[in-house]
């Protein structure tokens, strides 16, 4: 990242602290603000990718104090206002810089993911290998086969190149079916397969609303949590956003899918295009059914497979680098999915290998444009540039895995996880939606997780001490050949000794 604009005096019109004087620094990746006032410490660090809209407020004739400046709307649930002096051209300069670099695609500039030269120990692009993943699931078998029919995206340009399709289906049939489906999206695994006709099929409508309703719902949610949490009738206001109700419907839809699959039925999941609702439902159902997807790497595979590879239109839904903030194609479908995952982790605190920090990181980089992972609308568009020229988000994650691990994780392969999709249990994810509120203590980790880690460290410390004592002891006892101590290291089944054997980390 290079610095475009630095150390200019600016006033941050904080919703909580009022006018805060400070310095601003703008690079091609982020906007950074630090208060210069010793009394109030305010720091802002906003990736330009998170900006959806930049507007000028006030004109040359504006009178009121601090009424002349910039108004920035972000995709990550916050708004920022800056006031500037009318003299000079500082506002014009900042505005133009922000406008160009927050919306590079609208200005013929590359996204930051193509500019950055980050290096990581692991290459996250290797996390998902379709054939390997099919093999893990026991495919191909006598019912399903792997096809490369879409190798050059000529069957369906929004589908991946490698597909698993029913064993009996012929390549020409697939081509025929493709012609009938919206944008040639034939049924494939992940979702399942539907026959030539819906024979013996049970049709279930899940009543989940469209992308526009979701967008409006999240907008309403923002209204009641930012900048201040609605004080009176909070729960009624929350209800009127319908956000949790939508989360509930998605979750309960996924539960129905998972339930059908686990009782031996195949399920076809589809919505009009098969890239919004379908991705949510299949990936959530898979998370419930297959414990592999609840591991840190498995979850990455799930996102790569069901979202990225199967063509969720990230570019359109998020609008990376695009100035058109009012674009009707934008919608928080992926955010809603991550919210559903978070709800599941709340209900099953030991079932997921990853923690909340991973989910927050994913959502931050959904917008940041620092990684290639969520760029573009489908695999065919992505293939040409992304893998070779950008870094994968999973490179960052997998190079520093420990901060994303849930210490409570208890692997239980084969366990099907059914969350309770009831308003009784669904909660607003405050650590995401209300995280900008300075009245809340900023915590890197959940206090429960933190405490567990402390205790784990303590256990290891004691084990080490005990081992050292026993070591020095056995050296003494070997000299005293007849001492009964020599027996202590023999294998009796007292619990303590077993611990020492098992859990010592060296």
| Positions in 436-475 near other proteins (CB under 8 A) | 437-441, 447-448, 451-452, 454-459, 461-463, 465-466, 469-470, 472-473
Q: Please, which residue, 131 or 456, has the CB nearer to other proteins?
A: 456
For other proteins, which residue of 212, 230, 327, 504 counts as binding (CB under 8 A)? 230
Helix, strand, or coil (residue 108): coil
Return d(Cα 64, Cα 69) in angstroms, integer.
12
| Stretch of 113-121, 197-205, 214-222, 242-250 lying at the interface with other proteins (CB under 8 A) | 242-250
The annotation status of 210 as a binding-site residue, yes or no, is: yes
Q: Does 411 bind other proteins (CB under 8 A)?
A: yes
What is the CA angle 149-155-159, rounded to 5?
A: 90
Return d(Cα 151, Cα 484) in angstroms, integer.
72
Q: Does 32 bind other proteins (CB under 8 A)?
A: no
Q: Does 36 bind other proteins (CB under 8 A)?
A: no
Contact 370, 116 (CB under 8 A): yes
Q: Does 234 bind other proteins (CB under 8 A)?
A: yes
Return d(Cα 325, Cα 330) in angstroms, integer.
8
Which residue has tokens 């009245």? 439
Strands 3-14 and 79-83: antiparallel
Buried b (16+ CB within 10 A) or exposed e, 193-217: bbeeeeeeeeeeeeebeebeebbeb
Return d(Cα 360, Cα 372) in angstroms, integer.
17
| Positions in 124-143 near other proteins (CB under 8 A) | none
Q: Does 37 bind other proteins (CB under 8 A)?
A: yes
The annotation status of 414 as a binding-site residue, yes or no, is: no
Q: Does 505 bind other proteins (CB under 8 A)?
A: no
- Tokens (6 digits) for 134: 């099919």
| Positions in 74-103 near other proteins (CB under 8 A) | none
The annotation status of 271 as a binding-site residue, yes or no, is: yes
For other proteins, which residue of 24, 208, 351, 375 counts as binding (CB under 8 A)? 351
Rounded to a whole number of angstroms, the minimum distance from the CB of residue 209 to other proteins is 15
Question: What does the DSSP assignment read for 327-352?
Answer: -TT---HHHHHHHHHHHHHHH-TTS-
Q: Does 45 bind other proteins (CB under 8 A)?
A: no
The annotation status of 228 as a binding-site residue, yes or no, is: no
For other proteins, which residue of 142, 200, 388, 494 counts as binding (CB under 8 A)? 494
Contact 262, 318 (CB under 8 A): no
Rounded to a whole number of angstroms, the minimum distance from the CB of residue 463 to other proteins is 7
Q: Does 235 bind other proteins (CB under 8 A)?
A: yes
Q: Does 18 bind other proteins (CB under 8 A)?
A: yes
The question of whether 271 is a catalytic residue gets the answer yes
Question: What does the DSSP assignment read for 4-30?
Answer: EEEEEEEEEEETTTEEEEEEEEEESSE
Rounded to a whole number of angstroms, the minimum distance from the CB of residue 415 to other proteins is 8
Rounded to a whole number of angstroms, the minimum distance from the CB of residue 34 to other proteins is 15
Return d(Cα 124, Cα 395) in angstroms, integer.
4
> Choosing from 3, 14, 271, 340, which is the catalytic residue?
271
Rounded to a whole number of angstroms, the minimum distance from the CB of residue 94 to other proteins is 24
Return d(Cα 39, Cα 57) in angstroms, integer.
27
- Tokens (6 digits) for 472: 């020095």
Q: Please, which residue, 206 or 271, has the CB nearer to other proteins?
A: 206
Residues taking part in catalysis: 271
Which positions make up the binding site?
A: 210-211, 271-277
Residue list for the binding site for substrate: 210-211, 271-277
């Amino acid at each position: 990242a290079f610095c475009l604009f630095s150390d200019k005096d600016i006033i941050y019109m904080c919703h909580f602290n009022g006018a805060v004087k400070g310095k601003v620094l703008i690079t091609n990746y982020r906007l950074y603000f630090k208060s210069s006032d010793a009394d109030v410490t305010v720091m802002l660090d906003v990736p330009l990718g998170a900006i959806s809209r930049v507007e000028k407020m006030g004109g040359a004739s504006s009178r009121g104090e601090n009424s002349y400046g910039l108004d920035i709307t972000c995709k990550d649930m916050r708004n920022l206002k800056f006031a500037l002096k009318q003299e000079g051209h500082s506002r014009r300069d900042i505005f133009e810089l922000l406008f160009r670099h927050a919306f590079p695609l609208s200005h013929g500039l590359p996204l930051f993911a193509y500019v950055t030269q980050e290096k990581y120990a692991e290459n996250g692009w290797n996390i998902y290998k379709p054939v390997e993943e099919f093999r893990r699931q026991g495919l191909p078998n006598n019912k399903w086969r792997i096809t490369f029919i879409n190798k050059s995206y000529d069957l369906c340009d929004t589908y991946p190149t490698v597909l698993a399709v029913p064993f009996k289906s012929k390549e020409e049939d697939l081509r025929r079916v493709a012609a009938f489906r919206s944008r040639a999206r034939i049924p494939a695994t992940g979702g399942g397969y539907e026959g030539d006709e819906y024979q013996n099929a049970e049709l279930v409508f899940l009543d989940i609303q469209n992308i526009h309703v979701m967008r409006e719902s999240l907008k309403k949610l923002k209204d009641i949590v930012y900048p201040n949490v609605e004080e009176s009738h909070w729960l009624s206001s929350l209800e009127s956003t319908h956000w949790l109700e939508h989360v509930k419907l998605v979750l309960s839809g996924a539960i129905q899918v998972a339930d059908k699959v686990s009782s031996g039925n195949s399920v076809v999941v589809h919505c009009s295009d098969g890239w919004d609702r379908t991705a949510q439902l299949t990936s959530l159902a898979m998370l419930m059914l297959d414990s592999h997807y609840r591991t840190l790497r498995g979850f990455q595979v799930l996102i790569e497979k069901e979202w990225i590879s199967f063509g969720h239109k990230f570019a359109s839904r998020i609008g990376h680098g695009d100035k058109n903030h009012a674009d009707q194609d934008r919608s928080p479908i992926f955010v809603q999915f991550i919210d559903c995952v978070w709800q599941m982790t709340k209900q099953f605190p030991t079932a997921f290998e990853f923690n909340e920090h991973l989910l927050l990181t994913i959502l931050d980089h959904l917008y940041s444009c620092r990684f290639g992972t969520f760029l573009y609308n489908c695999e065919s568009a992505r293939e040409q540039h992304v893998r070779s020229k950008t870094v994968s988000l999973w490179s960052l994650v997998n190079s520093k895995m420990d901060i994303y691990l849930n210490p409570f994780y208890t692997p239980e392969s084969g366990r099907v996880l059914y969350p309770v999709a009831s308003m009784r249990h669904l909660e607003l994810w405050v650590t995401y939606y209300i995280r900008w509120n300075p009245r809340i203590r900023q915590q890197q980790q959940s206090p429960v997780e933190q405490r567990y880690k402390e205790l784990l460290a303590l256990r290891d410390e004691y084990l080490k001490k005990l081992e050292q004592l026993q070591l020095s002891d056995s050296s003494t006892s070997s000299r005293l050949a007849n001492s009964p101590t020599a027996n202590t290291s023999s294998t009796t089944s007292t619990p303590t000794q077993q611990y020492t054997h098992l859990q010592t980390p060296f």
